[in-house]
Structure 1
Amino acid sequence: MEPEPPTNATRERPHTESSYGIPEDEDGLLPWEFVATRLREHRTVWLSTTRPDGTPHARPVWGVFVDGTFYCGGGERTWWVRNLATNPAAVVHGESGDEVVIVEGTANRIDDGTGNPGLVDRLNAAYREKYGIEHGTPFFAIRPERVLAWHDYPDDATRWTFA
């Protein structure tokens, strides 16, 4: 369980125009566990990357949420893997438009867990548990820089920003 975000996170309301009706007070902000649970449970998420020509690219992918980071992997010839090689900016969005979790971050390639012994083994174990298969490598770690979430919009719209 990951009941709290990393200590470098600030939780607040998203900033947008007033016509959306997002409350200004902090009553009803979602707990981090809402985000962690959805990312652990979503079988498929949408991953958005940017092509070398600057146009957007979105694909459904499988992934696991381990130690506060979303990990996914793909073949070397997939467009999204090639896109991340030139621009590591990524957005992950669950399938639901009602129980929303949007993770914005930077993808880092993980080939062998260098610097984190056993990481690839733990990721493959998480894949086996969730999907019944091992993934292998490469994995991509998408560490949150900004997360938006809600399930009773606009009343519980919540944003986490990571330092």
Structure 2
Amino acid sequence: MSSTGRDPLAPIAQRPYMPGYGLSPDLAGLLPWSWAEERLTASRNYFVSTVSPEGRPHCVPVWGVWLEGRFFFSTGARSRKARNLARSPRCVVCTEGGGESVIVEGEAQVLSDEALFGRFADAYHAKYAFRPEPNGDPVFVVSPEVAFGFIESEEFMATATRWRFSHGHAEGHQGRGG
């Protein structure tokens, strides 16, 4: 904790920029980052969006785990998403279900740390009863730059939240969008 009482590694909560939606300018009601992490951890399926070299969006469901403040998923080395990420690491990850949504914008890197792979494989096995092999398909780690939380209800305008990461996992990135 810093002298301000805020965890220096926690993202900064703000209102998303959504002109015309009538979002409250008041910061009361912003969702805590713990709310987002609970949903990122609990989601069984996620949607990963990448962009082709021609600029065509590609969105597919994947299994994955939220671990140590980042999103991990495995995919075939020749899959479209792996090829897209090799060309441009920027991507978006969304939790399943639209009632309480978390959207993470970030950059994906291939996991190369053996100890971290072991922790990923343990978490993946606990969640899906399947253990990825260390020399199998690539595992991507998405480090967040910006995240959004939305609750589909009458509370939407008071709870819509954007979190900006300006440290740690997203070192050197100020975040974009919303």
Unpaired segments ≥5 residues, structure 2: 1-5, 167-178
Name segments (4+ residues, structure 1) moved above 6 Å: none
Answer yes or no: is 1:156 the counterpart of 2:153: no
- The offset of 1:5, in angstroms, is 7.3
Answer yes or no: is 1:119 the counterpart of 2:116: yes
Number of the residue aligned with 2:169: none
Q: Is the 8 A contact 2:11 2:33 kept in 1?
A: no
Q: 1:41 to 1:6 in 2, by over 3 A?
A: farther
- The offset of 1:9, in angstroms, is 2.2
- The offset of 1:12, in angstroms, is 0.7
Which residues of 2 match residues 58-97 of structure 1 at below 5 A? 58-97=59-98
What value does the CA root-mean-square deviation take over the aligned residues?
A: 1.6
Number of the residue aligned with 1:145: 145
Whole-angstrom CA distance in 2 between matches of 1:57 and 1:142: 16
SS of match in other structure, 2:81: helix
Q: 1:6 to 1:143 in 2, by over 3 A?
A: farther
Report how many aligned residue pairs link the two structures: 155
TM-score (norm 2): 0.82
Whole-angstrom CA distance in 2 between matches of 1:118 and 1:6: 25
TM-score (norm 1): 0.90
Whole-angstrom CA distance in 2 between matches of 1:20 and 1:28: 16
